[in-house]
């Protein structure tokens, strides 16, 4: 179990900016857009060189999140039998699954500079 924890700490370690090499922590990475085309959502500048950054792998993250939501929704619909409770729980499960998957995956995505 010790090796697993070391790998997780290593993956959550600060990553360098591709332009200047300044360390960017996992907490800061949660504010970086997932694709370079998401300028409407947010932009993130490196604190040191002010280069606009994004995270590579946005489509992979999106596919993972959608599959996670479908699996959770399927199991939730099978387990809960009441009609009204099912609809409320489905909505809550979808929201939590999307946010949880994104929160977990974002620190593992590599950083790239926007062209």
Query: What is the pLDDT, as a whole number, of residue 40?
Result: 58
Query: What is the pLDDT, as a whole number, of residue 37?
Result: 67
pLDDT tens figures, 39-88: 555 677 888 888 888 888 777 777 777 787 777 777 766 766 666 666 77
Give the model's confidence band at 1: pLDDT under 50 very low, under 70 low, under 90 confident, else very high: low
Other Cβ atoms within 10 Å of 13 Cβ, number: 11
Burial environment of residue 74 by CB neighbours within 10 A (0 to 12, 13 to 18, 19 or more)? exposed
- Distance separating alpha carbons of residues 88 and 36, to the nearest angstrom: 34
């Amino acid at each position: 179990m010790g090796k697993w924890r070391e790998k997780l700490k290593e993956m959550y370690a600060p990553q360098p900016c591709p332009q200047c090499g300044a360390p960017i922590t996992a907490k800061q990475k949660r504010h970086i857009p997932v694709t370079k085309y998401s300028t409407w959502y947010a932009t993130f500048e490196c604190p040191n060189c002010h280069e606009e950054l994004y995270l590579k792998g946005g489509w992979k993250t999106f596919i993972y999140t959608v599959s996670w939501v479908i699996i959770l929704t399927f199991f939730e619909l099978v387990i809960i039998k009441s009609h009204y409770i099912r609809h409320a729980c489905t909505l809550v499960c979808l929201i939590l699954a999307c946010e949880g998957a994104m929160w977990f995956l974002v620190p593992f995505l590599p950083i790239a500079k926007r062209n």
